Amino acid sequence: MQKRQAFDIALRQLQLKLLEMGERVQQAVRGAMDALKTLDPVKGQRVVDGDQDINLQENEIVDLCVRLIATQQPVAGDLRKIVAGMRIAGDLERMGDLAVDVAKTAVRLQGQPLIKPLIDIPRMAELCDQMVSDALHAYVQGNVALARKLAEQDDEIDHIYRKVVEDLFALSADEPDAVSQAMSLAFVGRYLERIGDHATNIGESVIYIVSGERSDLN
């Protein structure tokens, strides 16, 4: 009984570590978008510098998962929780990297007037933030329905991303001097679209934990 209790405590610790990492990633995405909207290099660099902490969190989670597998020899649902925990940490780490990419764009564009108001890109970021929140809630609750709903949100992000690219390329066709910035902003849209994809990956991990089913929500 004591061994099981210790194992359950460790699984709860894994869950808490993933939630802490997810919160840190959300802060990074929000900070990166704030830097982009203001073209503030200081804010952008803060996000870049903070990525090391997210990487350390992933390493701690992976180490915990490996230790649990080695010492507890879990099976069935317990093993799925641990394996999925490592996957979720990997997806969160990639989101952090993508937030850094957005922040670096903000640093690179400092001092330049924006070629168009940022409307759709911040909307994409808001949807990404909601997707990460929903993915983490689905994880904590073991909520398969909420996990599957992420696919619909991801479709909305994809739709906005296509509009962003179309608008930027139309603008750059009319204004050749805007090509460089248009490309940079199109890449920002791509980074956010990828964050949405990683959120759906977390949804897939939730479904795997609960049912053992391997789903494709992308």
Q: Is residue 164 in some structural domain?
A: yes
Q: Supply the range of the domain harboring residue 79.
A: 2-211
CATH number, position 25: 1.20.58.220
Joined together, the tokens standing for residue 165 give 């690219």
Least Cα distance to 210 among 93, 84, 126, 29 occurs for: 84
Q: pLDDT tier at 198 (50, 70, 90 boundaries)?
A: very high
Instruction: Give the number of domains in the chain.
Output: 1
Contact 129, 196 (CB under 8 A): no
Q: Are 70 and 90 in contact (CB under 8 A)?
A: no
pLDDT at 40 over 90: yes
Q: How many residues would you count in the chain?
A: 218
Inside any domain, residue 20: yes
104 within some domain? yes
Q: The whole model's pTM is what?
A: 0.94
Query: Is the residue at 121 inside a domain?
Result: yes
Residue 87 CB neighbours (<10 A): 16
Q: How many CB atoms lie within 10 A of CB 53?
A: 12
Tell me whether residue 217 is in a domain: no
**Tens of pLDDT along 74-125?**
888 899 999 999 999 999 999 999 999 999 999 999 999 998 889 999 999 9
